[in-house]
Amino acid sequence: MPSLFALVDCNNFYVSCERVFDPSLEGRPVVVLSNNDGCVVARSNEVKSLGVKMGAPAFECKEIFARHHVTVLSSNYTLYGDMSQRVMETLAQFVPSLEVYSIDEAFLELCVLPEGTDIVAYARIIRQTVKQWTGIPVSIGIGPTKTLAKAANEIAKRSPALNGVCVLMADAAGERYLADLPVGEIWGIGPAHTRFLSCRGISTALQLKQLPDQWLREHLTIAGLRTAQELRGIPCI
């Protein structure tokens, strides 16, 4: 089977960890602050809808927190590390090859699954099992490259109709998704490159994918070219 990756990402991880141990927080607006209580490091969806940004200084948000009865918690990294280990151990039950990318993300190689496996159904089983065994909700993006899998994960989180799983292939259907995905959401395209591309009328992942190789190498270096190739379904990472 050709390469196929799943990027499993825990939803609002620190908040989800706190909700596992305090179910009364479910459905309520919650933020987790950094160790010195200086900045927002995790937000529930309810808080995101209020416009509170990741990394926002807590003192600047006091009025919003008070007005909307936001529960404000200090970070507990011992808890989060333990919960992360539980999630990763659960994911390891499903594939022989697992790459832990961060405390709340992991890449799974799906090309090792038996031929004919219903990938979407399998991903839904993974989601259900992680939630049942750990209490943590996850989103799963699937694609032939890690960049497409990451992009698919972003789409899965934004689209409730997908029920937490999105498959993004390098085909016409995949291009429709990429046409709606801001270029700044693509793995490897940071704020500086996003501004550079925006000034040149390049605002979507699809536009980035379609740029000529020579232009990409000249303006975004070899890293930008590899990102575009990954969006085309060519594994480079």
Q: How far is CA 55 from the centre of its chain?
A: 17
Q: Across the strands, what pairs with 109?
A: 5
Spatial strand order of the sheet with 98-102 comes to 98-102, 105-109, 5-10, 138-143, 165-167
Catalytic (active site) residue 60: no
> How far is residue 202's CA from residue 191's CA, in Å, rounded to a whole number?
13
DSSP calls for 176-224: HHHHTSBGGGSTT--HHHHHHHHHTT--BHHHHHTS-HHHHHHHHHHHH
> How far is residue 117's CA from residue 14's CA, in Å, rounded to a whole number?
33
Q: Given the DSSP bridges, would you call strands 105-109 and 5-10 parallel, antiparallel or unpaired?
A: antiparallel
Tokens (6 digits) for 200: 């040149």
> How far is residue 177's CA from residue 168's CA, in Å, rounded to a whole number?
8
Furthest C-alpha separation in the chain: 55
Nearby residues of 136 by Cβ (< 8 Å), 6 or more positions away: 10, 11, 13, 16, 17, 20, 83, 86, 87, 130
Tokens (6 digits) for 219: 């303006």
Among residues 18, 26, 89, 105, the one annotated as catalytic is: 105
Active site residues: 105
